[in-house]
C-alpha cells in the first residue's frame, strides 16, 4: 500500500513539474502529460533531458560584449547608409506595420547592393560552392547541419585541406546530431591539415546539459567575407539525388554577393564563438562589399532565443493576394494554423506543396492531419511526385522568405536557422516560377483522400497530431 501511495505521489510530482515549466505553452504541456501517462518514468526522463526550456549560452564578458556590440553597430550603420544611398525608403516595404516588424525583428538590417543566384537542385549549387572555395584567398567558413563522409563529403574535405595547406584560415562547424555519423577519421584529416573544426552541441554533452532538442540547422558557406551561400542543402550524396529511396532531390539554395554576406558572416562567427569561445574581430572578415547588384535582402538569424514565429505569422496575415508555401515538413503552431485558415477564408490564394514520399512516417501522418483540416478552409495542397521536395519557401504577395527553416514548430522555436527575406521582384519571380514548375510535378490532394480512411489510419492520425508539438 505504501509503495502505491509513493508511486502516486511521484506521478503527481512529475505532472506538477511539467505544468510548472510548460504553463505558457499549453499545447506542448498537454502532449507531455499524455507521454507521462503512457510511460510515466521514462516519459519524465525524456522531458528532463530533451524538452527543458533552452538555456542560453554564457554571457560575454564586459570587454567581449563591448567589442562585439561595437562591430555590429558599425556594420548596421554601414548597411543603413547603403540602403539610403541606393534605394528610396518607400521601395523597401509597402506595408508600414510589416516594415516596422521587419526593421526591429533581427539584429541584421535590410541590406542593399545584393546580387542573388537561386539554385533549384544540388549539383549546380555544390559546384558553385566548390568553385568559390577553390578561388578563395583569405578565409573559408563552412557550417552545415549534416556532413556525410561520402563522395560529395570527400570533395569538400579534400578541397578544404588543400586551402588550409595553402595558408588560408579554414573553419568548419557541424551539428552534433545531424552529423552524428561523421567519423573521427574524416575530422582528423581536416584538423591535421590545419582546418579548425568545431561541433555544435555534441551528442553526449547535449544530453547531459539538457540541450539535445536544440539543434543547429543552418547551412552557411562564406568565402573571403565577399560571397555567401545558404539554403536547404546539406553535404551528402542524397542531396545530389543519389538516394535510391527518394531519387531526384528538389531543393532551394542561394548564392549571394553584397551587404547581405556580412550577416551570413555574423551568423557563422556567432556560432563559432558559441562552440570555441573565440571572438573574431579582424576587419578583414567584414570587408566593404562591392555594390554589384540592386537587390534588397534581409538575412534573418533565428533560434530558441530568437524565434521566427512572429515573422512567419506576419507574412501570412499581411498577404492580400497569395501565400504559396513549399516545405518538406508541415507541422503548425496554433496561431499559424489559424492565420492560414483565416487567409484562405478571406479569399487569399493559399497553396502548399509537400512531399509525395515521406522521409519520416509519423511526421508525415501528422502533416496530413493539418492538410485535412486546412482543405476544409479552402487551402489547396499538392504532393510532389518527381522525387523528394526539400525546398523551404514562403511567398507572401511580393515578398519571399527562404532558407533553412521548415514550416514546423521545431524551426519556428527550437532550432538555429538562417533565412532571408527577399524584396526584389527578380528573385521573387524566380521562386514563383519554381513553384509553378513544382506544382506541375505534383498531384493535388483532394478531400476525398481522407473520406475512406480505416479506423486504424484515423487513430494513427490522431496520435501523430497529438505528438506533433514535439516534432
Is residue 226 flagged as an active site residue?
A: no
Query: Residue 291 in contact with residue 82, Cβ under 8 Å?
Result: yes
> Active-site residue among 219, 226, 301, 341?
219
Q: Which of 149, 397, 441, 449 is catalytic?
A: 397
DSSP string for residues in 353-420: EEESS-SSHHHHHHHHHHHHHHHTTT-EEEEE-SSEE---EEEETTEEEEES--BSHIIIIISBEEEE
φ and ψ at residue 410, rounded to 5 degrees: -60, -45
| CB distance 190 to 158 below 8 Å | no
- Which of 141, 169, 217, 226 is flagged as catalytic? 217
Is 386 catalytic? The answer is: no
Using the CB atoms, write b or e for 273-297: b if 16+ within 10 Å: bbbeeebbeeeebbeebebebebbb
Backbone angles phi, psi at 402, to 5 degrees: -155, 155
Q: Which of 265, 399, 394, 254 is nearest to 330 (CA)?
A: 394
CA distance 250 to 449: 25
Check if 163 is active-site. no
Do the beta carbons of residue 416 and residue 331 sit within 8 Å?
Answer: no
Active-site pick, 390, 408, 424, 434: 390
441 is catalytic: no
- In the beta sheet, which residues pair with residue 59? none
DSSP for 224-269 reads TTTEEEEES--BSGGGGT--TTT-SEEEEEEEEESTHHHHHHHHHH
Active-site entry in 175, 224, 251, 434: 224
The Cα 124–Cα 139 span in angstroms is: 22
Catalytic residue among 392, 398, 408, 434: 392
Which are the catalytic amino acids?
A: 217, 219, 224, 390, 392, 397
Amino acid at each position: 500500500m505504501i509503495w502505491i501511495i509513493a508511486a502516486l505521489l511521484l506521478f503527481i510530482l512529475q505532472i506538477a513539474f511539467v505544468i510548472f515549466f510548460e504553463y505558457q505553452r499549453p499545447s506542448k504541456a498537454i502532449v507531455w502529460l499524455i507521454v507521462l501517462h503512457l510511460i510515466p518514468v521514462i516519459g519524465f526522463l525524456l522531458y528532463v533531458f530533451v524538452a527543458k526550456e533552452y538555456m542560453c549560452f554564457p554571457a560575454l564578458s564586459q570587454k567581449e560584449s563591448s567589442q562585439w556590440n561595437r562591430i555590429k553597430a558599425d556594420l548596421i550603420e554601414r548597411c543603413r547608409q547603403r540602403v539610403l544611398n541606393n534605394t528610396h525608403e518607400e521601395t523597401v516595404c509597402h506595408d508600414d506595420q510589416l516594415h516596422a516588424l521587419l526593421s526591429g525583428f533581427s539584429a541584421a538590417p535590410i541590406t542593399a547592393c545584393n546580387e542573388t543566384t537561386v539554385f533549384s537542385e544540388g549539383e549546380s549549387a555544390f559546384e558553385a560552392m566548390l568553385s568559390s572555395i577553390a578561388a578563395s584567398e583569405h578565409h573559408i567558413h563552412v557550417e552545415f547541419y549534416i556532413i556525410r563522409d561520402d563522395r560529395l563529403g570527400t570533395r569538400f574535405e579534400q578541397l578544404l585541406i588543400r586551402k588550409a595547406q595553402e595558408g588560408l584560415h579554414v573553419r568548419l562547424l557541424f551539428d552534433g546530431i545531424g552529423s552524428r555519423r561523421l567519423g573521427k577519421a574524416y575530422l582528423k584529416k581536416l584538423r591535421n591539415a590545419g582546418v579548425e573544426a568545431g561541433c555544435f552541441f555534441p551528442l553526449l554533452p547535449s544530453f547531459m546539459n539538457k540541450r539535445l532538442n536544440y539543434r543547429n540547422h543552418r547551412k552557411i558557406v562564406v568565402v573571403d567575407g565577399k560571397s555567401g551561400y545558404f539554403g536547404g542543402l546539406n553535404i551528402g550524396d542524397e542531396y545530389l539525388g543519389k538516394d535510391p529511396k527518394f531519387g531526384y532531390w528538389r531543393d532551394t539554395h542561394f548564392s549571394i554577393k553584397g551587404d547581405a554576406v556580412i550577416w551570413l558572416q555574423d551568423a557563422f562567427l556567432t556560432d563559432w564563438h558559441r562552440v570555441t569561445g573565440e571572438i573574431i574581430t579582424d576587419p578583414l572578415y567584414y570587408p566593404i562589399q562591392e555594390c554589384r547588384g540592386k537587390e534588397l535582402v534581409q538575412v534573418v538569424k533565428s533560434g530558441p532565443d530568437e524565434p521566427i514565429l512572429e515573422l512567419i505569422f506576419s507574412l501570412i496575415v499581411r498577404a492580400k493576394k497569395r501565400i504559396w508555401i513549399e516545405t518538406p515538413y508541415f507541422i503548425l503552431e496554433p496561431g499559424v494554423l489559424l492565420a492560414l485558415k483565416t487567409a484562405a477564408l478571406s479569399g487569399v490564394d493559399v497553396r502548399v506543396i509537400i512531399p509525395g514520399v515521406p522521409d519520416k512516417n509519423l511526421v508525415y501522418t501528422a502533416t496530413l492531419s493539418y492538410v485535412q483540416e486546412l482543405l476544409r478552409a479552402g487551402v489547396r495542397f499538392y504532393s510532389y511526385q518527381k522525387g523528394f521536395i526539400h525546398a523551404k519557401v514562403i511567398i507572401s504577395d511580393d515578398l519571399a522568405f527562404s532558407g533553412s527553416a521548415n514550416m514546423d514548430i521545431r524551426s519556428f522555436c527550437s532550432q538555429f536557422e538562417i533565412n532571408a527575406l527577399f524584396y526584389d521582384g527578380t528573385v521573387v519571380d524566380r521562386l514563383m516560377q519554381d513553384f509553378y514548375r513544382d506544382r506541375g510535378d505534383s498531384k493535388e490532394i483532394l478531400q476525398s483522400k481522407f473520406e475512406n480512411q480505416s479506423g486504424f489510419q484515423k487513430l494513427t492520425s490522431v496520435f501523430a497530431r497529438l505528438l506533433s508539438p514535439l516534432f
